[in-house]
Structure 1
Amino acid sequence: MFDTHKPLETAVLVALITQKQTAEQTKDYLDELAFLAETSGVKTIKSFTQKLEHPDNRTFVGKGKLEEIQTFILDNPVDCIIFDDDLTPSQVRNLEDSFKEIKVLDRSLLILNIFSMRAQTAQSRVQVELAQYQYMYPRLTRMWSHLTSQKGGVGMRGPGEKELETDRRIVKDRIAFLKEKLEKIDKQSVTRRKERDRLVRVALVGYTNVGKSTLMRTLAKTDVFAENKLFATVDSTVRKVTLGNIPFLLTDTVGFIRKLPTMLIESFKSTLDEVREADILVHVVDVSHPNFEEQIEVVNATLADIKAADKPMVLVFNKMDRFSPKDSWMEKAELPEEDEVFNGAEEVMIPVAVRRKTALEYLKKTYLSQKADYVAFISAETGENVGELRELLYTLVKEKHYFIYPNWVGVPLSESADDFGDGLAG
């Protein structure tokens, strides 16, 4: 018997600690980069960090760190080097000269590779292909060598591998063709969305891998693809859901991420229109993630960029079953008196259950009073507090629905049959 499985590619990761990025943040970003690599089918075997005020103009890292990486590569089987920031065309050329046959990728190229793997519909495939060409155009001198049939693997899923296209005019013509093709698809999407104008539209948004698809499956009671990988959802999915006797459309959208490539945002304009044109946004947050507050900021910034930040929004803290309080919250939160915990025992240790409850109350107080109009704390996977979220959504959807249908006779959610989802594909 022979093993026909293709061995995983191996990679080393590289990131900088700068004045704008602490060592702790860099570690978290490298963990995310490793998850991105894993999603692409690449195994991380080593991470390198260096403290610099700003990236080196020639090779991103300094000369000493570059030699350290080269030494490691000589002694270990490494297929590619992945940098946590975007590289300039000159940096790519210099690094490829330094590492010879080792592939050099940056964060944007890795994300583009994942999108190319995940794209299922004709629209998303065109969107990703356009983003790939726009990324590669300024890097044309060396990038096209990656598209030959002799090199494969992560980062090499280029938009075309039939011939070596070195003529900038040909690439520009291809970009123009893809834009024209995408415009036609966008017009069809606009027509479909207009047909839904008589229904309230709710869009799920959030950082990638926070549980949007799982929540979609729970609320719509229908099968929606969900996986513990980044960007499991690239194509928007629309389902018709009924709460009480009020129907509305629920859309699962592509997840956001730190440093999401600009060309992806531009080419996914039509997909993001589902967010722009929604009546209500449901911002899903993975409360179990140690840096979920930064992820909230990333999503809010992206929503502002696409001019969708002014809509009614429900902030949903998901994965409460995995929630673990931070020590920094416990310092700010009002802990119970010692005798309330252990009847005046000399050495008081706050039990996990008490810490969790106290931190949860602190989060509710913080976000309800300062940062969000509507807040829910749930676990989409276990169903914890999902009923409360349904009640909240019912109240918001009913208000919008009555604006469209003033004479509608509503049925209280508690008196209606179980809400259900229809297979209305988007």
Structure 2
Amino acid sequence: MKPTVPLVLLVLLTVAGQSQAQVKSSILDLTNSVRSILPSLSRPANHSRIFYAVMFDAGSTGTRIHVYTFIQSLSEELPVLDNEMFHSTKPGLSAYADSPEMAGHTVRMLLKVAKKTVPRLEWKRTPVILRATAGLRLLEAEKAQALLDQVQHVFDESPFLVPDNSVSIMNGTNEGILAWISVNFLTGHLNAQTQKTVGILDLGGGSTQITFLPKLRKTIESVPVSDYVAKFGILNSTFQLYTYSYLGNGLMAARLATLGALGAEGLQWQVFKSSCLPKKFRDEWSFGGLTYHVSGDPDGYSGYKLCYQEVLKVVKGIIHQPFELEDSNVFYAFSYYFDRAVEAGLIDGVQGGMLEVRDFKKRAKEVCNKMSKYLLISPFLCMDMTYITCLLKDGFGFKERTVLQLTKKVNNVEASWALGATLDHFHHLKIH
């Protein structure tokens, strides 16, 4: 190895006898020369490249920021996810439908997480993207656009890279596909040799998604419309998925439908009653920027059977039952499936766990028939648990003994569509 002149001495020798302007110029030239000789600080010895991405998930009940750190090896087509920084805030952007500047403020505050996570030298190379889901899909077009415009303004004034179409409302079908990509990427099932994948069940506030890779051709042939089938390509492989997003069947939208409040007018004087709520319960509840007066039925009956009949109307005839389900896939269930299972004491809030569909049913009965015991946890717990039970059984058609993997994180990364959307941005998966 050739001996090298110490860098400080080299600088001194170079700048001796020069003006201040010439010194600055010489140091800049020297720095560039040294950079061309020395390996990049962000490039390990194996010539891998570290890069970052910022993805905003603008959901119906909250806004989340995911800051991903990737390592891209020259020999690998898909990067390795090295780290995720996650933060969330409530309510969702749709709650600011009448004051869109507050939506911009929310995003601006969350961008501070990105600035602390991404090295300053990488800001201008790091894409920042926001995808809105059912909360904005349920809004009037003009109000939704005003919110998006505010976010775009915040992005444009930020130091990050703002790609074309950086702020938009995401197609519901893509939401399911990208969540499937996220979970299968994290579980190592996206490589070209894989013969096994996992299905996903995502229960948001405004919509719910089911996505899996069918093994039987009849599953694809028996769909009601072609919208239930989607294709995308990755690593020289093409995947044909069964996937669908049901707008209005997310947990919060289902509450409204169960109460008969979906699309109702005159909210200031109406009280929406349900046998899924404690008989003496009466309160205000807000969703999507609107406030509803809700109560139990003090003169009627309450309990699991009556509640099930109410939520069945929200599911029956709306949710399609795929030809194959539990026989071909392990299903990961997350978002409100996970949250409510934790609240009901069925799984650990950190580890998650395996549950059978009948576990939801059994606990729903216990909660609904002893609502006062669970009142402090949530007055809606009976309604929510019963809806989840009904959605799984009478909606998708899962058998009671079907086992689901309830999870919030996979390999310490949030289980959601956000990672899949980030991979789509970098690899252009051409979903159709």
Give the helix-richer structure, 1 or 2: 1
Give the number of the structure whose alpha-carbon radius of gyration is greater. Answer: 2
TM-score > 0.5 by shorter chain? no
TM-score by length of 1: 0.28
- Structure having the higher strand fraction is 2
